[in-house]
A and B are shown apart, each in its own frame.
Chain A
Amino acid sequence: MSDPLPKYWQSLAERASDPGFLTQAQDEFAEPLPVGVAATPPDANSRRDFFKLMGLSAAAAMVACQRAPVQKIIPYVARPDEVTPGLALWYASTCNGCSARCGLLLKTRDGRPIKVEGNDEHPVSRGGVCAVGQASVLSLYDASRARFPTRDAKRVAWAELDADVTQALREASDAGQGIRVVLPWHLGPTAEAAVKRFLAAYPTARTVRDEPLGELAAIAEAHRVTHGVHAVPDYRFDKATVIASFGADFLGTWVSPVAFTRQYTEARDAAGQRKMARHYQVEPMMTLTGAAADRRFVVAPSELRLVLADLVRRLAVKAGRELPGLPSAPPLTLEESAKEELAEALWAQRQGALVVAGGDDVATQVLVNAANALLGSEGRTVSLADGTALDADALSLEALLTELRAATVGAVLFLGANPVYTDPRGEELAALLKQVPLTLSTSDRRDETVVHVGLHAPEPTALESWGDAEVRRGVVSLRQPAVAPLHETRSAVESLLQWAGAPQPHYDFLRARWEAEVFPQAGGVSFSAFWDDALRRGVVLLPVPLAEAPAFREEGLAKAWKGAARPPGEWELVLYPTVAVRDGAPANNGWLQEVADPITKATWGNPACIAPARAKALGLKDGDVVKVRAGDRTVSVPVLVQAGTHPAVIAVPVGYGRTHAGRVANGIGVNAYPLTAVREGRARHAVPGVTVEATGARQPLALTQTHHRLEGRPHVREAELAAFLANPRAGNEVQAGHGGGGHSLSMWSGHEYNGHRWALAVDLSACTGCSACVVSCQAENNIPSVGRDEVLRRREMHWMRIDRYYQGDEANPQVVHQPMMCQHCENAPCETVCPVLATVHSSEGLNQQVYNRCVGTRYCANNCPTKVRRFNWFDYPHDEPLERMVLNPDVVVRSRGVMEKCSLCVQRIQETKAAANREGRPLRDGEIQTACQQSCPAKAIHFGDVNDPDSQVARLAKDGRAFRLLEELNIGSSITYLTKIRNTGSGSGA
Chain B
Amino acid sequence: MKDASTRIPCRALAAGWLGPLAALALAGCSGPVNNQQGYMPEQPVAFSHAVHAGQYGLDCQYCHVGAEKSRHAGVPSTSVCMNCHTQVKTDSPEIKKVAAAVAENTPLAWVRIHRLPDHAYFNHASHVGAGLECQNCHGPVQEMVRVEQKEPMTMGWCLDCHRETAAKQVSAPPPSAPRSGELLALSSGVPAPEPLKAPRVLQPPTDCSSCHR
Mark A residues whose CB is within 8 Å of B.
Answer: 36, 46-48, 51, 54-55, 58-59, 61-62, 64-65, 67-68, 70-79, 84-87, 755, 840, 842-844, 846, 848, 850-852, 890-892, 903, 906-907, 910, 914, 917-918, 920-921
Mark B residues whose CB is within 8 Å of A.
Answer: 1, 4, 7, 10-11, 14-15, 18, 21-22, 24-26, 28-30, 33-34, 36, 39, 41, 65-66, 68-72, 74-80, 101-102, 105-112, 115, 117-119, 121, 123, 125-126, 129-130, 172, 175, 196-197, 200, 203, 205-210, 212-213
In the A-B complex, list the 5 residue pairs whose CB atoms are closest, starting with the nearest: A86-B70, A920-B196, A86-B71, A86-B72, A76-B77
The answer for the CA separation of A62 and B29 in the assembled complex, in Å, is 7
Q: Chain A interface secondary structure, helix, strand, loop or mixed?
A: loop
A87 with B66: CB separation less than 8 A: yes
Q: Chain B interface secondary structure, helix, strand, loop or mixed?
A: loop
B208 with A78: CB separation less than 8 A: no
Q: Kindly provide the distance from the CB of B138 to the nearest chain A CB, expressed in whole angstroms.
A: 14
Residue of A nearest to B34 (CB): A68
Partner of A75, one of B39, B78, B208: B78
B11 with A47: CB separation less than 8 A: yes
Contacts of A917 in B (CB 8 A): 126, 129-130, 172, 200
A892 with B213: CB separation less than 8 A: yes
The answer for the CA separation of A903 and B207 in the assembled complex, in Å, is 13
Residue of B nearest to A48 (CB): B7
Residue of A nearest to B206 (CB): A843
Partner of B213, one of A62, A840, A906: A906
The answer for the CA separation of A55 and B33 in the assembled complex, in Å, is 19
A78 with B129: CB separation less than 8 A: no
A65-B28, A917-B126 in contact; A74/B15 too (CB < 8 A)?
no
B79 with A890: CB separation less than 8 A: no
The answer for the CA separation of A907 and B39 in the assembled complex, in Å, is 30
The answer for the CA separation of A850 and B119 in the assembled complex, in Å, is 10
B33 with A64: CB separation less than 8 A: yes
Partner of B126, one of A76, A77, A918: A918
A75-B76, A851-B119, A892-B213 in contact; A47/B22 too (CB < 8 A)?
no
Partner of A843, one of B30, B172, B207: B207
A921 with B197: CB separation less than 8 A: yes
Complex A-B: 26 CB contacts under 8 Å: A54-B14, A54-B18, A55-B21, A58-B25, A64-B29, A65-B30, A70-B112, A71-B111, A71-B112, A73-B75, A73-B111, A75-B75, A75-B76, A75-B78, A75-B107, A77-B101, A77-B106, A78-B79, A79-B77, A79-B80, A84-B65, A85-B74, A86-B71, A87-B66, A848-B209, A918-B125
Partner of B14, one of A51, A73, A920: A51
Contacts of B70 in A (CB 8 A): 84-87
The answer for the CA separation of A75 and B66 in the assembled complex, in Å, is 12
Residue of A nearest to B35 (CB): A68
B207 with A842: CB separation less than 8 A: yes
A75 with B74: CB separation less than 8 A: yes
The answer for the CA separation of A755 and B205 in the assembled complex, in Å, is 11
Partner of A906, one of B106, B125, B209: B209
Residue of A nearest to B72 (CB): A86
B108 with A75: CB separation less than 8 A: yes
Q: Kindly provide the distance from the CB of A900 to the nearest chain B CB, expressed in whole angstroms.
A: 11
Contacts of B34 in A (CB 8 A): 64, 68
Contacts of B65 in A (CB 8 A): 84
Partner of B212, one of A58, A843, A850: A850
Q: Kindly provide the distance from the CB of B185 to the nearest chain A CB, expressed in whole angstroms.
A: 15
B107 with A48: CB separation less than 8 A: no
A903 with B11: CB separation less than 8 A: no
Partner of B79, one of A79, A843, A846: A79
Q: Which residue, A67, A755, A851, A920, has most C-beta atoms of chain B within 10 A?
A: A920
The answer for the CA separation of A74 and B78 in the assembled complex, in Å, is 10
The answer for the CA separation of A64 and B25 in the assembled complex, in Å, is 9
The answer for the CA separation of A211 and B208 in the assembled complex, in Å, is 51
Contacts of A892 in B (CB 8 A): 118-119, 212-213
Q: Kindly provide the distance from the CB of A394 to the nearest chain B CB, expressed in whole angstroms.
A: 48
Q: Kindly provide the distance from the CB of B17 to the nearest chain A CB, expressed in whole angstroms.
A: 9
A67-B39, A75-B110, A917-B126 in contact; A61/B212 too (CB < 8 A)?
no
The answer for the CA separation of A78 and B78 in the assembled complex, in Å, is 6
Contacts of A921 in B (CB 8 A): 197
B213 with A51: CB separation less than 8 A: no
Q: Kindly provide the distance from the CB of A478 to the nearest chain B CB, expressed in whole angstroms.
A: 28
Contacts of B172 in A (CB 8 A): 917, 920
Partner of B210, one of A61, A64, A72, A910: A910
Contacts of B117 in A (CB 8 A): 852
Contacts of B21 in A (CB 8 A): 55, 58
Contacts of B129 in A (CB 8 A): 914, 917-918
Contacts of B175 in A (CB 8 A): 920
B79 with A51: CB separation less than 8 A: no
Contacts of B205 in A (CB 8 A): 843
Contacts of B110 in A (CB 8 A): 72-75
The answer for the CA separation of A892 and B213 in the assembled complex, in Å, is 6
Q: Kindly provide the distance from the CB of B73 to the nearest chain A CB, expressed in whole angstroms.
A: 9
Known contacts A65-B30, A72-B112; 13 further A-B pairs (Cβ under 8 A)? A55-B21, A61-B25, A62-B24, A64-B29, A71-B112, A73-B75, A76-B79, A77-B102, A84-B69, A86-B74, A87-B69, A892-B213, A917-B200
B213 with A74: CB separation less than 8 A: no
B109 with A72: CB separation less than 8 A: yes
A848 with B71: CB separation less than 8 A: no
Q: Which residue, A46, A85, A842, A907, has most C-beta atoms of chain B within 10 A?
A: A85
B10 with A48: CB separation less than 8 A: yes
